[in-house]
Amino acid sequence: PLRIAVLASGRGSNLKALIAARDAGALPVEFAAAGSDRADADALRLARDAGIPAFALDPKAYASRRDFDRELFRRLDATGAGLLVLAGFMRVLDGEALKPWVGRTINIHPSLLPKYRGLHTHRRALAAGDAEHGASVHYVTAELDGGPVIAQARIAVRPDDDEHSLAQRLLAEEHRLLPAVVALIAQGRLAYLAPDGAALDGRRLAAPLQ
């Protein structure tokens, strides 16, 4: 099966949803590693409890973003993972360090991209008076929240919604959306099409890296 690595900065509920889907037989993957930029992230505790190798890297221990990201990707390379899933990883990745992983890195973002890249997406959707809100899973490129969108979940905004209620209702959808997309990739039913036309699908991702 496809080996995946997951990065998360905090709570880890999307990681939990991935583990649950795997346990339910709905997600044919092996967890190669879980990583975080915070040693105290609940996501790491969740990973360890599930028997997934977990590691934390402290950004303050590195002179630059690029140095941190180089070490991060060195660790990820060593896991033999074919797919990297950003599940609430709250750091921007350096474009150079990311390059070899473009096409095999996906992110879940809590907005209907291309709307609301960046932070405070629920607040911004409410402030704009949007009738609907949602989450997107997209391939990660050097452009922040700007890579090709794979799939989205939509919910209606209710008149009495606040930031918290909207985020909570959307989170339940995220927990369905992310495992569904990872399953498509793991089954070889979804391919990343590079600008040069090369396709990177789940079968190639599952093959050992050279």
Q: Which residues make Cβ contacts (< 8 Å) with residue 92, sequence separation at least 6?
A: 65, 144
Q: Are 98 and 140 in contact (CB under 8 A)?
A: yes
How many residues in the shown chain lie near ligand GAR by CB under 6 A?
Answer: 15
Shortest CB 11 distance to ligand GAR, Å: 4
Instruction: Identify residues 13-52 at the interface with ligand GAR (CB under 6 A).
Output: 13-14, 43
**Residue 208, preceding peptide bond in cis (omega within 30° of 0):** no
Which of 69, 94, 161, 174 touches ligand GAR by CB under 6 A? 174
Catalytic residue among 109, 122, 133, 138: 109
Q: Does residue 14 have a known ligand-binding role?
A: yes
C-alpha–C-alpha distance, residues 92 and 76, integer Å: 16
Shortest CB 135 distance to ligand GAR, Å: 6
Q: Does residue 154 have a known ligand-binding role?
A: no
- Any catalytic annotation for residue 109? yes
Q: Which two tokens stand for residue 131?
A: 């009738």
Q: Are 205 and 104 in contact (CB under 8 A)?
A: yes
Burial class of residue 19 in the structure, from the number of CB atoms within 10 Å of its CB (0-12 exposed, 13-18 middle, 19+ buried): buried
Q: Does residue 88 have a known ligand-binding role?
A: no
Q: Are 29 and 2 in contact (CB under 8 A)?
A: yes
Give the per-residue contact string, 122-151, with ligand GAR (x = CB under 6 A; - = no): -------------x----------------
Which of 109, 138, 147, 166 touches ligand GAR by CB under 6 A? 109
Binding-site residue set for (6R)-10-formyltetrahydrofolate: 65, 107
Q: Which residues bind ligand GAR (CB under 6 A)?
A: 8, 10-14, 43, 87-88, 108-110, 135, 171, 174
